[in-house]
Amino acid sequence: MQRNILLICLLLCQLSFAARAEDGSRLWLRQEAGTQTDIRAPRHSPTLDIAVDELRKAWQGAPVELVLKRDKTLKPEGFSITEKAGRVVISSPTEKGVLYGVYRLLQRQAERLPSGTPVTENPAFDLRILNHWDNLDRSVERGYAGRSLWNWDELSAPSDSDRLRYIEYARANASIGINATVLNNVNASPQILATDYLQKVKTLADLFRPYGIRVYLSVNFASPMTLGELKTADPLDKEVVTWWKNKAKEIYRLIPDFGGFLVKANSEGQPGPNDFGRTHADGANMLADVLKPYKGIVMWRAFVYSPNDDDRAKQAYLEFVPLDGQFRDNVIIQIKNGPVDFQPREPYSPLFGATPHTDQMVEFQITQEYLGFANHLAFLAPMWKEFLEFVAPASMRAMAGVANIGTDANWCGHLFAQANWYAFGRLAWNPELSSADIAREWLTQTFGTDEALVNDLSRMMLDSHEAVVDYMMPLGLHHIFSFSGHYGPGPWQTMPGGRPDWQPPYYHRADSIGVGFNRTHTGSNAVAQYPETLHRLYDDLQTCPEEYLLWFHHVPWTHLMRSGRTLWDEMCYHYDRGVQQARRFQQVWDKQESKVDAERFAHVQAKLRIQTRDAVWWKDACLLYFHTFSKMPIPYDIERPIHSFDALKRVFLRVGNHENVPEEMLNAVR
C-alpha cells in the first residue's frame, strides 16, 4: 500500500511538472481537470479501475456508466458509446473494449465533438502490434529518440521512475488501440530467452496487462545451440523440438497470456531453417506447434534476400509463394509494405495477396530510418494510406509498426514524430480513417482547438511526406542513401568487393542514356509478380505512374514527361519543389509562435531548420551527381546549387549526427 501511495504521489508530481515544462512528454494525453461527475463501473478490476480513473482525471461531461455485456454487433474489443437518460453509457463485451471506449470518449471531448452522438466501433485487426528494435544493452537499431525504454539491468526491481515510464507507455498505446508489443530487436540475442531475462519480461507483461497489451518476443532461431548448447537448431530434430517445448512451458508459466514469437530467419546473416536444409515453413511450423497449446502465434518475417543475380525486389515473392498452404494456422507471414526496404516511396509488395492459403500481416516502419530520422517532419499516414489503396485490410490478419520510441523526454525525438506513433495506432484500429482526420485528431489533442492553427499545421503535415520524397528520391528513385546510417545522400557511393544490392548504383543504374531500374519484361521482369492489370500498367513506360517511373523503368534523360518537360528537367523541378516546401514549413510554423508554448515552439523550429538545410544538401548532391551522366543544364529558374560536388562527396556522417563536414558546408549542413 505504501509503495502504491508513493507511486501515485510521484505521478502527480510528474504531471504537475509537465504542466509547467512543455517538453512533449504528455504526448496527446493532455486533458486534465475533470469534474466530480458520477462514474459507475460493474466491478473493480485493474482494467476497469484504469478506465474510471481516466474519466475522473479528464471527463467534463455527463455521468458515465461502464457496462460489460455481449453484443452481436461488437467484436471482443469493440465498444459502443450512447447517451441514455442523461448518462453516457460505454458498453463492450470485454474490459479492454470498455477502456478503448473511454479513451475514444475523451478524444472526442478534446476535439469538442458532441458527446451525445452514438458511436460504435470495432477494430479492423485483432492484432495491432509495435515492434521494438531494442537491444539488451539499451541501444536501439534505427532508434532516434534516445536509448531503449527497457532498463534490463534493473527490470527485476524497476525504479519508481522507470515503472511510471512503462505505465505511461502502456497508457499511450491503449489510448490509440495498440494491444501488443514485441520488446526486442528482430536481430535477436538468444539471451532474451534465458531464465533471468524472462523474469524481467514478466515484469513488463504484468505492468502492461491492465492496459490490454500482450507481450511478444523476437527470437533467434539458433537459440537451442547458443543458449541450450545443442549441436543443431534443425527444426526437425527431436532434441531441438523438445528444447523449444520446454522453453515455451517456462515462458507461459511466468506469463500466461504471452503472445508468441517474431522471427527474422535466413536474412542479413540471421540463422534460420535454410542453414539446416529446411524451408521457412519447416522452421515456422515447428515453433507454431510448440506455441499452439498456449494459443500463441508465430510472426515469420518475409524480409529475405540473398546475394545473387535476382532483383532484390523479387526475392521475398520467389521465396514464399511456393510455400503457400504449407504453414500452420497460427503462423502469420509479416511482410514489409514495399518489396525492398521501407523506402520513402515504394510500390506495394506483390507478395500481398499472392499466398491465399497463408495468413499475412503488414509491417510498417514508424521510425524514420529512411525519412530523416528524428530531424525531419514526415507525417507517414499518407504513405500508409497509399499502401492501403492497393492492399485491402480484409486480406490481412494484423498490422505491425517498427516503433520510434525511446528515452527522450518527448518519446520520439521530434515532437511531430509522435503523430506517426498515433497514426499507426489509429490506422491499425480503423484503416478507413483519412490522413486528414488523423492529423486533426492528433493536433487538437496536442496543441488545442484553435481552428487556424489546426488548419495550418494539418496542411503542413499532409504535405510533408511528399516534400521529403521530392527532395530525396522523386519519380521512383530509391535507396540512394549514404552508407553512414541511411541519413544523407550518397548515390555515388560504392563499396569495393561489397554486395551490389547494398550499393546505391545498383538501384539507380544511371548512365549517359538515362536513369532507373528496368523491372519490365525486358529487364528483371519484377512487374510480372503483380496482378495482370498492374503488370500491364507498370510495364509500359507511357502508362506507368510517374511516382513509380524510375522504380520500374530505365528512362532516357530526354524522355518527355506528362508536364511536357524532359525527365532531367522534371527531376530538377521535383528536387527544387521539395526544398521550397521545406522552407514553407518553417514559415507555417513560425506563424504559430503566439499559439504554442515556448519550449515546444523552439524545439520544432530548430528541427525545421535542420530539415531545410538537409533538403538543400539532398537536392545539390543528387542533381550535381546525376548531371555528370545527363550532361544537361539545371533549369535556370530553379534555385542554384550552393555546394560543390567535390565537397559533397567528402561528407562523412555518423548515424544520426552531422559530423566531419567540410568547412565550406558547415553553415548549410550543420
Sign for the CA dihedral angle at 361, 367, 368, 369 comes to negative
> 87-92 and 79-84 as β-strands: parallel, antiparallel, unpaired?
antiparallel
CB atoms within 10 A of CB 245: 15
**Annotation marks residue 639 as catalytic:** no
153, 268, 593, 659: the catalytic one is 268
**Contact present, 336 and 302 (Cβ < 8 Å):** yes
Amino acid at site 550: L
> 180-182 and 555-556 as β-strands: parallel, antiparallel, unpaired?
unpaired
Residue 380 backbone phi and psi in degrees, to 5: -95, -5
> 360-365 and 127-131 as β-strands: parallel, antiparallel, unpaired?
unpaired
Alpha-carbon span 369 to 380, nearest angstrom: 12
Question: Residue 243 burial (CB < 10 Å; 0-12/13-18/19+)?
Answer: buried
Q: How far is CA 254 from the centre of its chain?
A: 29
User: What one-character DSSP code corresponds to residue 384?
Assistant: H
**Annotation marks residue 389 as catalytic:** no
Find the length of the chain.
670
Q: Which residue has the cell 514527361?
A: 561
121, 289, 341, 359: the catalytic one is 341
Alpha-carbon span 401 to 334, nearest angstrom: 11
**Contact present, 48 and 71 (Cβ < 8 Å):** no
Q: Which of 553, 581, 557, 580 is nearest to 567 (CA)?
A: 557
Alpha-carbon span 116 to 398, nearest angstrom: 32
- 583-604 residues labelled b (16+ CB within 10 A) or e (exposed): bebbebbeebeeebeebbbebb
Packing angle, helices 598-630 and 451-472, rounded to 10? 30
Packing angle, helices 567-590 and 598-630, rounded to 10? 170
Residue 539, C-alpha cell as written in the block: 510495364
Q: Which of 393, 402, 433, 398 is nearest to 420 (CA)?
A: 402
- What would the 3-class secondary structure string for 502-513 be? HCHHHHHCCCCC
**Annotation marks residue 268 as catalytic:** yes
311, 363, 369, 463: the catalytic one is 369
Segment holding 20, helix H or strand E: helix 2-20
Q: How far is CA 151 from the centre of its chain?
A: 22
DSSP calls for 72-134: TT--TT-EEEEEETTEEEEEESSHHHHHHHHHHHHHHHHTT--TTS-EEE--S-SEEEEE--B
Residue 277, C-alpha cell as written in the block: 536444409
Spell out where 312-419 has E strands: 331-336, 360-365, 398-402
Alpha-carbon span 565 to 371, nearest angstrom: 27
Q: How far is CA 268 from the centre of its chain?
A: 20
Segment holding 628, helix H or strand E: helix 598-630
Alpha-carbon span 519 to 516, nearest angstrom: 9
- 34-61 residues labelled b (16+ CB within 10 A) or e (exposed): beeeebebeeeeebbebbbebbeebbeb
Catalytic residues: 268, 341, 369
